[in-house]
Amino acid sequence: MEEKSKVKDLKGKGKGFIAEFKTFILRGNVMDMAVGVIIGGAFASIVNALTEDIINPLINGIGGTEVAGELKIYGGQVIKYGDFITAIINFIIMAFILFMILKTVNKLMEIGHKKEEEKPAEPVVSEEVKLLREINETLKKQKK
């Protein structure tokens, strides 16, 4: 909310397009997204290396087929089914790792929320309610 008001304030003061752009870029969520993209790119290269250098040779050794295979069709064209299989393996590995990361983050978030929820908030009782309770207790005593 504060970032939006900053942008609106800049418009009103005539700071211009550059100042608005600077405010937008320096927001936390834009910077977080940029860091995520960079780390994601580096992580993709690790997963590609894992697939091409470890998993595919294991599949080749166990199954006796080559994952990096090609199927030649008419006109000298080639269907590279091995590259497609490698891309599927990469996707499954990345999806699994992201699932595990998000699962861990969600568990940590639940732990933080449970600690806050465990503390029961004491109800705020107004003076009128206290007075009515006293009157009620007095009336009960008078009936006995």
Going by pLDDT thresholds of 50, 70 and 90, the confidence category of residue 14 is low
> What's the pTM value of the predicted model, to 2 decimals?
0.46
Contact call for residues 66 and 57 (beta carbons, < 8 A): no
Residue 93's CB: how many other CB atoms inside 10 A? 16
CATH tag, 2-143: 1.10.1200.120
Q: Are 82 and 67 in contact (CB under 8 A)?
A: yes
Give dist(CA 76, CA 80) in Å, integer: 13
Domain boundaries, the chain: 2-143
pLDDT tens for 35-81 read 788 888 888 888 888 887 887 777 777 766 666 677 788 888 888 87
Instruction: Return the number of other C-beta atoms located less than 10 Å from residue 95's C-beta.
Output: 10
Lowest mean pLDDT among 4-18, 45-59, 107-121: 4-18
